[in-house]
Each structure stands twice: as structure tokens, then as C-alpha cells.
Structure 1
Amino acid sequence: MKTKWIAVAVIILAIVVVGVVLAALYFGTYNNLVELEVTVDEKWAQVETVLQRRFDLIPNVVDAAKLYIDYEGSILENITMLRSQWAAAQSSGDENAIVDASNGLTSGISQLVVVIENYPQLESSGIVQELITELEGSENRISTERIRYNEAVSEYNQAVRVFPANIWSSGWGFEAREFFEATTGAENPPQVIQ
């Protein structure tokens, strides 16, 4: 009779241990996914912060360039239009629209830098040179934050897709996130109409 109770106690203990292990795995996986998702959101916020810095800097560059450039107005108008598109995308909160507008703005800024380099009096202007240096610094920050964002997305997407998280993740609402990718043709230098 005593061995029967010992056997029942061992079975109950085994069930409890397995239950605790499964619960720990379940909640540990959930908490890990939450942490990774928060990291991705944080990295995206950093991307938006540096994009906003560039957005705020552009009018100063355009205004300084207007003092010297009379017949390159189409590029300045294009940058102003692209800046407005970015502001609209930013207020919509749509990450894809923000990425597209940001890539367009990057291309427009590259065109402006090429134009500025074609005007020695403009390039030698201390104000314009300082603004261009700040703009280049902003572009470097944007690039760095994009890389960090993509690294966080990669880690998150891997966590969502591996076992056992892949069993529960979609039920919890964790979906794979998109990388910040350059637009088609971004590998080619911008063409400046002269």
C-alpha cells in the first residue's frame, strides 16, 4: 500500500515539474518577445528622431542656398515638396510612407549637395558649408539608426519564428516586422539636371 502512494506521489510530482517547466517556457517566451518588440519600437523612434532633425535642418540649407542659386530653383522646390511629403507621412504614422518619403528626401538632398559643389561661391560660404556639414552628419546618424533598427528587427523576427515561440507568437499578436530598406534605384547616384 505504501509503494502505491509513493508511486502516485512521484507521478503527481512529475506532472507538477513538467507543468512548471512548460509554464516557465511559455511565460519566458512571451516576455522575451515583448522585450524584443519594445526594442524594435525604440529603434524605430530613434530613426524618426534623426529624420526629424534632418527635416528641421533642411529649410536652413534651402534658405542659405537661395541666396546664391537663382536658376536651380527646381531642385529647391523639389526638396520643399519632398519635405512636405515627409511631414504628411510622419503625421500619418505609416512606417512604409515614412520610409518612402525619407528615401525621396535623401535623394533630393544629394542633388542639392551636388548643385552646391558646382557653385564655388556657394561652396565657400561659411553658413552653407556649416549647414551642409550638419546635413551630412544627419545623414550619417540616419544611416546608423537604420542599421540599429534593422538589427533589432532581425533579432525580433528570428525570435518570432523559432521554436517554441513560433507556436504561440501569432496567437499573442507578434508578427514579423519589415526592415528599413532603400527604395529601388537608391544604389545609383542621383542625377542632377543642369
Structure 2
Amino acid sequence: MKKWLIPVAIIAVIAIAIYSWAVGFNNTAVKLKETTTEAWGKVESSYQRRNDLIGNLVKTVQGAADFERGTLTDVIEARAKATATTIDPANITPEQLQAFNQAQGGLSSALSRLLVTVERYPDLKANQNFLELQSQLEGTENRINVARDRFNEAIRPYNTHIKTFPNSVLAGWFGFDELAYFKAEAGAEKAPDVDFNFD
């Protein structure tokens, strides 16, 4: 065997190993990122379901009660803000998540005020449509929570994959950036103060 073939063979083996590593890294990162994008889609789907139900809830409340316009207007405006705030699932940043969470939190707060105020209307509380919508909203809130948890679970392996060395070197070359986790709103750890004093 000729001596010049040995360095060529070594270089070829190293090049093939680097190529295989890069391809493996890229393909795994793409699959993991797609999983996070799918998980985010489920979060948005759950929020969209809530927004759709709120429209029906507002119509039911409007038709069944001489209702406080301010509370109803707050819900309608908060719903509009929540649907206007969107996130690019391919590049989820902490700032985008904070804006999204803030808009959805405003809607949750307005919706809570609406449901508390409804307590003043015994006819409405007995309305089957209202009871069904209220039950659907409660189920939707649970779906939202599950979807957010699954989104965070999907992000962890992706972020771990691109942040561990030596993958972190390739992540910069291929343009894979760390994704932000969904976090609770500030103050969410405190129980809401519900006042049933209707004097």
C-alpha cells in the first residue's frame, strides 16, 4: 500500500464521521423542533376553542339577562386582544410568550369577572345552554393547561439537544436557537380573590 494513501484514508474517514455527525445532529434537531411546533399548535388550538366558546357564552348571557354592559364589554375586548396576539412557532421567544400570556391572562380575568357577576342572575344560572357552556369552558381551561405542559415537555429535549456540547457548535451553524418555555403569569401563584358581596 502506498504511503500517501494512508493520510488520504484518514482524512476521508474523518470527513465521513463529521458529515455523519452533522447530518445526525441536523435531522434530530429538525424532528425535535417539529415536535415543539406541533405542541405549540395544540396550545393555540386549545386557546382558540376557548375563544370560540366565549362568543357563544356572551350571546347566551346577553339574551338571558339584563346584564352589566361593562363586564360584557371587558370580555369582548379581552377576547379580541387575545386573538390578535400570535406567535411564530418556529421562533418562540420569551418576549412573544410573555405578550401572548398577558393577553390570554387578561381574557381569563375578564371571563372570571363575567362568571362571578352571573351569580346575580338565578334564571341564567338555571339556563341549560349557559350551564353547558360553563362546563365546556372549565374543560377547555383544563385542556389549555395540559397543552401548555406538553409544549414545555416538547421543548426540553430540543433545547437539551442543541445546547449540549459538541452539538452547540453545530446549532449556531445550522441556525437552531433555544426556544422559550411557557411560564405562568406573574402573580399566578396567588389564589384569586373572589368577592360574592352583591350589595
Same fold flag (TM > 0.5): yes
Alignment check: 8 A CA contact 2:162 2:171 kept: yes
Which residue does the alignment assign to 1:80?
76
Which residue does the alignment assign to 2:187?
185
1:61-81 deviation per Cα after TM superposition (whole angstroms, max 9, x unaligned): 122223444354332221111
Alignment check: 8 A CA contact 1:107 1:190 kept: no
Aligned residues: 190
TM-score, structure 1 normalization: 0.84
| Superposition deviation, residue 99 in structure 1 | 2.6
Q: Report 1:141-156 matches (<5 A).
A: 141-156=143-158
Alignment check: 8 A CA contact 1:47 1:146 kept: yes
Which residue does the alignment assign to 2:62?
66
Q: Which has the higher helix share?
A: 1
Cα distance in 1, alignment partners of residues 184 and 77 from structure 2: 20
> Cα RMSD between the aligned structures?
2.5
| Superposition deviation, residue 131 in structure 1 | 0.4
Matched, 1:102 2:84: no
Q: Secondary structure at the match of 1:70?
A: coil
Which residue does the alignment assign to 1:133?
135
Alignment check: 8 A CA contact 2:97 2:180 kept: no
The structure with the largest alpha-carbon Rg is: 1
Sequence identity of aligned pairs in percent? Answer: 33
Alignment check: 8 A CA contact 1:111 1:191 kept: no
Unaligned ranges ≥5, structure 1: none
Q: Secondary structure at the match of 1:163?
A: coil
TM-score, structure 2 normalization: 0.82
Work out which of the residue numbers 43, 49, 64 in structure 1 matches 2:45.
49
Alignment check: 8 A CA contact 1:110 1:190 kept: no
Cα distance in 2, alignment partners of residues 29 and 55 from structure 1: 39
Cα distance in 1, alignment partners of residues 193 and 76 from structure 2: 18
